[in-house]
Amino acid sequence: MSDPKQEFSDIQQMYFKDDGVMPNHPNLPVLLYKGVWRSEPVRAEFNLNRNGWGNSWVNGVYDYHHYHSNAHEVLAVMSGFVQLILGGEKGQKVYLKSGDVVVLPAGTGHKRLKASPDFRIAGAYPEGMSYNTRTGKQGERPQVLQEIQAVPLPGTDPVYGKDGPLTKLWLNRNS
What's the CATH number where 61 sits?
2.60.120.10
| Domain range enclosing 67 | 10-152
The answer to whether residue 1 sits within a structural domain is no
The answer to whether residue 166 sits within a structural domain is no
Q: From CA 153, how far away is CA 44, in angstroms rounded?
A: 21
First CA to last CA distance, the chain: 15
The answer to whether residue 4 sits within a structural domain is no
- Dihedral of the CA atoms 153, 90, 65, 60 (nearest 10)? -80
Confidence band, pLDDT 50/70/90 cuts, at residue 8: low
| Span 123-161, pLDDT tens digits | 999 999 999 999 999 899 989 999 999 999 999 999 999
The answer to whether residue 73 sits within a structural domain is yes
Greatest alpha-carbon span in the chain: 46
In this prediction, residue 5 carries a pLDDT of: 43
Contact status, residue 82 vs residue 19, Cβ threshold 8 Å: no
The answer to whether residue 160 sits within a structural domain is no
The answer to whether residue 175 sits within a structural domain is no
pLDDT greater at residue 8 or residue 69: 69
In this prediction, residue 6 carries a pLDDT of: 41
The answer to whether residue 3 sits within a structural domain is no
Q: Report the domain count for the chain.
A: 1
In this prediction, residue 174 carries a pLDDT of: 61
Confidence band, pLDDT 50/70/90 cuts, at residue 3: very low
